[in-house]
Amino acid sequence: MSLPTVLKLEGPVIVFGGGRVGHRKVEYISNFTKDITVVAKDSLPMPDHVKLSITDLKPQDIPGSIPANASLVIGALSDNEMNRAIGDFCRDRGILVNVVDDPESSTILFPALSHDGKLSVSVSTSGECPFLARRIREEVDIWIPEKARWLEVLGPIREKLIGSEEKNRVLSAIYGDPDVAGRVRENDLEGAQAKAWEVYNVCCKSESDP
């Protein structure tokens, strides 16, 4: 059973393979870090922030291609044996690795991701059926822009309420306010934020009243 979690990428990400699959992995990872190196014999055009190491990789080259401070390694070569060798090397050294289409060689799996601003929603089937995860993600894609606007409304107020026992009560009142919700739906972010602070002030006043 896989544990869904959020990974903080503090070191470089190394992607082996510059073809279409490797390119998709680069696009995915670029949402969260720009410290990416692609190691490949040939490579599709990559974003400007990606470093390229063009080499005809051999098994003995793997150690020199993965820095000790790597946050994540991705094996996306067309050579399955090389991908497995990359997976074995990383697992032996405690480096997180994702080997494409090989959950057994991986220590981390990529969920289907819907992303908007600071809001990310991931869907995982623990490698059992990526097709279903993608379909669910497509459904999430429809409503995530509105929820991302909610994050812009609630985030600053939640920060103001850190340490308060009334935090969830106040946030719930704002989230349930029809005027705030209507403005969020209409993409009136400034109006939604202003109304949210009005609700916040009413809640805080009622809390302080004898």
pLDDT digits (tens, 9 = 90+) for 111-163: 888 989 889 999 988 778 889 999 999 999 999 999 999 999 999 999 999 99
83: left (phi over 0), alpha (psi -120 to 50) or beta: alpha
Question: Within a 10 A sphere around the Cβ of 201, how many other Cβ atoms?
Answer: 11
Q: Where are the domains of the chain?
A: 13-110, 142-205
Q: Which fold has domain 13-110?
A: Rossmann fold (3.40.50)
Whether the pTM exceeds 0.85: the reply is no
pLDDT digits (tens, 9 = 90+) for 33-89: 999 999 999 888 999 999 999 999 999 999 999 999 999 999 999 999 999 999 999
